[in-house]
Amino acid sequence: MKFLRNSYRSLLIVVTAVAAALAVNHFIFSTVRIVGNSMQPTLEKNEWVLVSRLPFEPAYGDIVIFKKKDVSSETLVKRIIGIPGDTVEIKNGIIYINGEKKENDFSLISDEYNMDQITVDSDGYFVMGDNRAESNDSRKWEEPFVNSAEIKGKVIILLFPEIRILN
């Protein structure tokens, strides 16, 4: 009988630990492998990142993961360029947010690239990859904004091949 009681306790500890790990992975943190090249040089293909799934207010410059079913069945990783109410325009490869020229703190856009001014929806975010020449992002989508319900988390740490805090 003592053996069964000890086995039951051991099983309960293992089941509780597994349930806690799954809950943390699903609700608090998760790991994501970078699939494409759209976030180079910040994030390279096949690197692993730690994503916070805790509620947050997305801000300019945040790197987020999201699901946008009208674009891809994959989880996407991009940087927030415009927040609700912002106007976003690209003239001769230069990004203007609310009429203000944004210094190019990520990667270059061709000098020939232009995008008419648009206003970000009240529940939307304008996102771009850091590798702007190769990124499939808000500039190219029919529905250009990622809404808050589509955002699954904020990338906070590069885990592999080196550990580096992001944002």
Q: Which residues are catalytic?
A: 38, 78
Helical (H) or strand (E) element with 19: helix 2-23
Distance CA 108, CA 130 (A): 8
Phi, psi of 12 (to 5 degrees): -60, -40
CB 139 within 8 A of CB 128: yes
- Here the tokens at position 58 are 């997305």
Phi, psi of 28 (to 5 degrees): -115, -55
Distance CA 55, CA 82 (A): 19
Whether the bond between 161 and the residue before it is cis, its omega within 30 degrees of 0, is yes
Distance CA 46, CA 49 (A): 10
- Here the tokens at position 111 are 């000098």
